[in-house]
Amino acid sequence: MFSIIEVRTMPFPVQVRIEHLTGHQCRISPLRGERCIGTGAWRMQDGGEVPCPFCPERIPTDTPLFPSGERVCVGESVTFPNMYPFSAFHIVTVITRSHAPGPFSIRQIADALAAQWSVLGEVQGYASINWNHLSSAGASMPHPHMQGIADPEPTAYTRRCLEGGARYREKTGKNYWETFIESERSGPRHIFGSEVPWCAHPVPLGEKEIRAYLPTGALSEAEPYIDTLASGLHRVIGFYRERGHCAYNVALRFDREHSGGDFRAFLSIIARVNPTPAGTSDSAFMERLHSEPVLFTIPEDLPLLFADRR
Ligand SMILES: [Zn+2]
């Protein structure tokens, strides 16, 4: 389901990996990990003097309401329409009352996910639940928040997954996702979880990518797994933190309702460089202009790193 090409660079070889389902390609250069770009010590930055519209005292005046005249509150999370949407339907869920960038409890993550679920469940199209954590991961607001989007068409990578799965079905008569998830569940990249397995992805979209696969495709059918996803996400975020990564991106993508397709909803999380005064980015010409991320952790090493946790 993927291939590896060893490129003989000096002093260490680089792997080029290609995912057959999507055509996605990445490079893995373990040597780059030794540079420790943007990991290690990172001090929490506060909001400074700028008033934060996501802090509890400002949400009622500074954030929009749904057409119903309300915001959706689940636990301490608050959900409202995005003021600057880039999707047909685009919502924001402020995860915590606290402005601090974590740590988060499983309950806080589960409540924010449940809020996204309840609002996205009301709209048509291809939905996803996303989270940019910290400025270096693209968060424009430091106050922790998730974003849900839904559009009549899938995003580019989701489309490649859906079309790749349809091609696989045509060629083999089998469900790509069932076949793939079954082999990952018992393979060298499995980290934890059985019904919802969490596995290092063989051809990562970003550093230390870990995916969780749900046994179902559409948002409405996946609702019973909110707590499982929240506790898994909590474990992976803790693992990232121990490895020196405070910033990350998350995407949980779904098929549309009643598609009759083979797709299985899955969550991806990737580690990002930490915010630095120099503004160092891990998104450079290879990532942005060649669509080919350069990473430093071999996916098959991730389960060992995870097992080594203190
Ligand atoms: Zn705030």
In the predicted structure, residue 276 carries a pLDDT above the cut 70: yes
Q: Is residue 290 part of a domain?
A: yes
Q: Which of 2-6, 48-52, 111-115 has the highest mean pLDDT?
A: 111-115
Q: Is the pLDDT of residue 79 over 80?
A: yes
CA of 77 to the centre of ligand 1 (A): 12
Instruction: Kindly state the average pLDDT of the residues 5-28.
Output: 89
Answer whether residue 5 is part of any domain: no
Where residue 156 sits, what CATH number does that domain have? 3.30.428.10
Sheet holding 126-133, edge to edge: 72-74, 77-81, 89-94, 145-151, 126-133, 247-253, 266-272, 207-213, 198-200, 190-192
Cα of 94 from ligand 1 centre, angstroms: 9
Ligand 1 midpoint to CA 36 (Å): 30
Please say if the pLDDT value at position 40 is more than 60.
Answer: no
Tell how far the Cα of 135 is from the centroid of ligand 1, in angstroms: 14
Instruction: State the pLDDT at residue 23.
Output: 93
Q: Containing domain of residue 229, as a range?
A: 64-307
> And the tokens for 235?
């474990």
286 alpha carbon – ligand 1 mean position (Å) = 34
Treating both helix axes as pointing N-terminal to C-terminal, what angle do 176-185 and 156-172 enclose, rounded to 10 degrees?
100
d(CA 119, CA 65): 13
Nearest partner of 117 among 74, 154, 55, 159, judged by Cα? 74
Assess whether pLDDT exceeds 80 at residue 48: no
Q: How many domains does the chain fold into?
A: 1
Checking if the pLDDT of 277 tops 90, the result is no
Q: How confident is the model at residue 10 (pLDDT cuts 50, 70, 90)?
A: confident
pLDDT single digits (tens) 150-186: 999 999 999 999 999 999 999 999 999 999 999 999 9
pLDDT tens digits for 113-142?
Answer: 999 999 999 999 999 999 999 999 999 999
Task: Please report which confidence band the pLDDT of residue 35 belongs to, taking 50, 70 and 90 as the band edges.
Answer: low
Q: What is the DSSP string of the chain?
A: -EEEEEE--SSS-EEEEEETTT--EEEE-GGGGGG-TT-S--PPP--TTSPPTTSTTTHHHHS---TTS--EEETTEEEEE-SS--SSEEEEEE--SS-S-----HHHHHHHHHHHHHHHTTS-SEEEEEEEESGGGT-SSSS-EEEEEEESS--HHHHHHHHHHHHHHHHHSS-HHHHHHHHHHTSTTEEE-SSS-EEE-SS-SSEEEEEEE-S--BTTTTGGGHHHHHHHHHHHHHHHHHTT--EEEEEEE-BPTT-------EEEEEEEPPP-TT---S--HHHHTSS--EE-S-GGGHHHHHHT--
Q: Does residue 163 sit within a domain?
A: yes
Q: Is there a domain that residue 71 lies in? A: yes
Q: What is the pLDDT of residue 162?
A: 97
Environment class of 305 (CB within 10 Å of its CB; exposed 0-12, middle 13-18, buried 19+): middle
Q: What is the pLDDT of residue 47?
A: 47
- Average pLDDT over every residue of 203-216: 97
Residue 54 has a CB neighbour count (10 Å cut-off) of 23
Q: Is 203:25 a contact under the CB 8 Å cutoff?
A: yes
Q: How far is the CA of 44 from the centre of ligand 1 (A)?
A: 13
Please check whether residue 10 lies inside any domain of the structure.
no
Rounded to an integer, what distance in angstroms lies between the CA atom of residue 79 and that of residue 95? 9
Confidence of residue 9 (pLDDT cuts 50, 70, 90): confident
Q: How far is the CA of 297 from the centre of ligand 1 (A)?
A: 33
Reported as a pLDDT band with limits 50, 70 and 90, residue 222 is very high
State yes or no: pLDDT of 37 exceeds 70: no
The identity of residue 218, as a single letter, is: A
Q: Quick: pLDDT tens for 254-266.
A: 999 999 889 999 9
**pLDDT at residue 214 above 90?**
yes
The pLDDT value recorded for residue 76 is 97
Q: Residues 67-88: what's their mean pLDDT?
A: 95
Q: What is the pLDDT of residue 116?
A: 98
- pTM for this entry: 0.93
Is 225 within the bounds of a domain? Answer: yes
Q: Name the nearest CA neighbour of 281 among 300, 268, 294.
A: 294
Q: Is residue 28 part of a domain?
A: no
Residues with CB under 5 A from ligand 1 (ion): 52, 54-55, 99, 143
- Token pair 């055509």 in the structure block, residue: 23
**Residue 231 counted as domain residue:** yes
Cα-to-centroid distance, 104 and ligand 1 (Å): 15
Mean pLDDT, rounded, of the chain? 93
pLDDT of residue 89: 93
